[in-house]
Structure 1
Amino acid sequence: MVSCGRLKDKFYYDSPKLIRFQSIGCVCVKWLIYVVIAICVCYTLIAHKRYQEKEEVTSSVRTSVKGVAHAVSRIWDTAEYAIPVQSKDSFFVITNIIQTDDQLQGNCPEAPFAKAICSTDESCEKGSADIHGNGVQTGRCVWYNATLKTCEITAWCPVQMEEHPPEPAVLRGSEDFTVLIKNNVHFPKFNYTVQNISPNFNSSCTFNKITSPLCPIFRLGDILQEAKENFSEVAVKGGIIAIEIKWDCDLDSWSYYCIPEYGFHRLDGKTRSQYPGFSFRFARYYKLPNGTEQRTLFKVYGIRFDILVFGTGGKFDSVELFTFIGSTITYFGLAFTAIEICFNLYSCSRCCKIAFCDNIIRKKYETVLEPKKVMLVSYVDEPHVILIKEPLKTSLQYAEGSIFENHPVKFSDPCSFFTNESNENCDAGESQLSWLMQSTRSPECPRWCCCGQCNLMLKSHEQLCCRRTDGPCITTTYWFKKLVLSRGTLNKALLYEDPFLELTGDNTNSQLRHAAYKQYIHWRFGSFELEDRTVIPSCCRGVIRSTYPTADGNYTGFKIE
């Protein structure tokens, strides 16, 4: 049976419970947040094309440098100043040079640096080679010039004399050189290939960010100018410049766009104090008629251009569209979250209290409690059921509690129980309930009693009166007698639950007494799930027990557990 019940529950739909209240402020906040979120979602969807499937670009680059310069009594063409580099998608252009001609292998003085300067042969170690030197020491100290001695070395002689590059740069005319960049990109997922050179390409154009932004021919001086650099200054010691090619392609037929965007900036730190610029050495070798090998050593400075290609291609995809819409729908919950945060901040605030907000908070939140850890009490002169948590530190009458809002209604309409009662009786009962709000007190009852009808109780959880302030006891009213004590009412209640119940015999008083307890609870507390945690006041419990007593005079009472 249990398994069948669980199986049946699987075919029921559970919907969250909401409360509805009228508030212009909350509605305005909600719709304001809705509009802001809708605008942001639409902007992101359209501007960032979130309906498209994206793929990173795959690229290949080729370069061709053109230009001729005259320097150092010779003509420099592409084969001499444009040197291939090992890194991918880069090219190097010589801008400055230190040239050492006619070097032969032999013995000669080392260039003057700290470890090579000497005064005697003892300062030079035969066979040693310094990492900053040009050869292997012979162990002799020789004159480098008229005033300075250095260690003699076996090396390509003479060694390079100049330490600093010439200013201005030897090949400063390379500013007018041009480079043609050929860039092909491919998007494998979409099987689409495009290049930066259009079919109607004009080979006489030169790139200009305003007039010719798509021309693939770049003047080197213009590249450095776009990178916010001065070509004459960079040409002295060299540098590294990035040429960025950005492809953001929209491959949809209705909004096709796929053209490159060029950008330039410097990569090396021009403010570095050590190893500034970009330089390296290379040599050209010759054979003399006598078979001796000779070379010309070049230390070249120049600009390395790194071509960086990046970007994405996108094409409409229904899955991406619905995924984006589905993920953004949850953002509309921010409206409820914002309003809930306001209510939470209000509930934490003690500076001001608004009855409307208090009512919403009580209606919205339902606290689930451990039944054995709470007690519920009701006072005739207060409109709410009070929840008191254990353990008690004082008499239950004086214990501090909170309003318990989990019950549907505190008081039922007593006239609805009796269809044959006259309107006069109902009016009389209502008059007596109003009379209960008057204040009187008898000095002979326990200190915690306010109605004058309570008995002395030793246990603190049984020390409870029907009232919070002094006044008549609820047991003296017409409705208490009619709803709680009347045998006819209790018989009807018992037979309503069990039509075949025998109301004769020794157990009758016990049945009637428990029915009276339940009648009082339903009358004063309403019908809800924590009936066994409600505490009946001492005065009411005493009258019920005296009306329907046990044979031995023993009663169980409220179990605090």
Structure 2
Amino acid sequence: MAGTEMQRVVDEDDDIPRRSDANLGYLYWGIVTIVVLYIQIVVFHIEGRHTFQEPGLGAVITKFKGKGFTKGVLDGKAFDAPDLRYPIIEPSGAFLMTRRVTVKDQKMGTCIDWDSPERCPCGEHATCGPENFCEVKGWCPSLGDGNMEHPPQGAEVEEILGLEDAVLMIVAGIGFPSIGQTFHVAGSSPDSSTLHKHITVPQLLELADPPVKLEDVAQTGCIIAVNFFWSCDLSWRSDCEPQLSVKRLDAGTGFVQKRAKKKTTNGVETREAVYMYGLRLIVDSSGIGRQISLVPIVI
């Protein structure tokens, strides 16, 4: 019996072209490329998460050199650094007086409290005065924010001139103890700016945001923040320089310091009240130090 040849089994898929895996490969390598670029650009370059980071310990010293005068050099008073700067030593900046109002021989009595004047009718411990203001017990004649434009009779008002030539010497530094023992000082690197080490008062005010003119704030004073911000990558180099930022903080309200000195003469206690308007400089040094470390790279 002749054998019967069995028909060849036909796989239907043999006649269908296989779909190319190229698109899947493109998708895979595209995702890998995006991940690698994200790590290199965002994680490493922008965020710096491949480095050990530490906040710095900053320090500043502000010195003042100059003189001020009332009216003129020859016919007025002269003020040197101890007169213009109060307190003399201040760890966070300096105060420079531009205007002073003094009331001498204040005595305890009943008058309008111009630090917080109140209109009549008055409370239990006050009486209504001739100016329709409440009079309370205190140091008289009163000197306060309410009558600075028109000080009481006998008050001495002194406008300080000549501060355009006064010089500020600001030294700022920072250290990162966990990264190294080096204490970085602003302006110590080659080709770095040392303007802050010998800068006049008008030059510093001009750097403010917005710029400030000395004659515009001489009557009311102002608050100026001077910030040295350090962003130091100490992986490949040992030197570092900060960015200097100067900004006015008082929003036009000014700044004044109030002082009082008492004395007793023949059993009568009197007081000398002094209002000192001027430039309040707040100097700060802060920043971040970075250094490449294996641990954050692995993470």
Mapped contact 1:165–1:237 kept (Cα < 8 A): no
Other structure's SS at 1:192 match: coil
The letter of the residue matching 2:112 is E
Mapped contact 1:56–1:312 kept (Cα < 8 A): yes
Q: Which has the higher strand share?
A: 2
1:196 has 2:185 as partner: yes
Q: Distance in 2 between matches of 1:111 and 1:279?
A: 18
Q: Distance in 1 between matches of 2:85 and 2:167?
A: 11
Q: Which has the higher helix share?
A: 1
- Which residue of structure 1 aligns with residue 7 of structure 2? none
Q: Distance in 1 between matches of 2:85 and 2:272?
A: 18
Gaps of 5+ in 2: 1-17, 151-157
1:89 has 2:92 as partner: yes
- Which residue of structure 2 aligns with residue 465 of structure 1? none
1:307 has 2:283 as partner: yes
Q: Distance in 2 between matches of 1:318 and 1:60?
A: 30
Pairwise CA RMSD: 3.9
Other structure's SS at 2:218 match: helix
The letter of the residue matching 1:300 is M
- Which residue of structure 1 aligns with residue 258 of structure 2? 281
Q: Distance in 2 between matches of 1:40 and 1:214?
A: 39
1:59 has 2:58 as partner: yes
Mapped contact 2:82–2:88 kept (Cα < 8 A): no
Mapped contact 2:186–2:242 kept (Cα < 8 A): no
1:71 has 2:47 as partner: no
Q: Distance in 2 between matches of 1:318 and 1:214?
A: 39
Other structure's SS at 2:142 match: coil
1:41 has 2:39 as partner: yes
Identity of matched residues, %: 22
From 193, 198, 205, the counterpart of 1:212: 193
Deviation at 1:248, TM superposition (A): 1.9
- Which residue of structure 2 aligns with residue 319 of structure 1? 295
- Which residue of structure 2 aligns with residue 163 of structure 1? 147
Q: Distance in 1 between matches of 2:182 and 2:279?
A: 31
The letter of the residue matching 2:291 is K
TM-score (norm 2): 0.70
Mapped contact 2:171–2:196 kept (Cα < 8 A): no
The letter of the residue matching 2:106 is L
> Which has the higher mean CA deviation after the structures are superposed, 189-198 or 298-307?
189-198
Change in 2 beyond 3 A, CA 1:265/1:21? farther
Change in 2 beyond 3 A, CA 1:110/1:48? closer
Q: Distance in 1 between matches of 2:96 and 2:272?
A: 19
> Which has the higher mean CA deviation after the structures are superposed, 108-117 or 62-71?
108-117
Deviations 1:316-367 (A, max 9, x none): 32222222xxxxxxxxxxxxxxxxxxxxxxxxxxxxxxxxxxxxxxxxxxxx
Change in 2 beyond 3 A, CA 1:214/1:279? closer
Other structure's SS at 1:255 match: coil
Other structure's SS at 1:22 match: coil
The letter of the residue matching 1:255 is R
Deviation at 1:237, TM superposition (A): 2.2
Larger relative contact order (C-alpha < 8 A, sep ≥ 6)? 2
Other structure's SS at 1:83 match: coil
Other structure's SS at 2:61 match: strand
In the alignment of these two chains, the number of paired residues is 266
Deviation at 1:241, TM superposition (A): 1.8
Gaps of 5+ in 1: 1-19, 118-122, 129-136, 202-209, 271-275, 324-561
Other structure's SS at 1:38 match: helix
From 229, 237, 240, the counterpart of 2:211: 229
Larger radius of gyration: 1
Mapped contact 1:250–1:257 kept (Cα < 8 A): no
Q: Distance in 2 between matches of 1:21 and 1:307?
A: 69
Deviation at 1:38, TM superposition (A): 2.9
Moved over 4 A (4+): 23-26, 46-49, 85-88, 111-114, 148-154, 197-201, 285-288, 290-294
The letter of the residue matching 1:193 is T
Mapped contact 1:107–1:152 kept (Cα < 8 A): no
Mapped contact 2:70–2:161 kept (Cα < 8 A): no
Alignment of 1:21-420 (within 5 A): 22-44=20-42, 45-46=44-45, 49-71=48-70, 73-84=76-87, 89-100=92-103, 102-107=104-109, 109-110=111-112, 115=118, 128=125, 148=131, 154-160=137-143, 163-165=147-149, 170-171=159-160, 173-196=162-185, 212-213=193-194, 215-227=196-208, 228-231=210-213, 232-252=215-235, 254-270=236-252, 276-285=253-262, 292-323=268-299
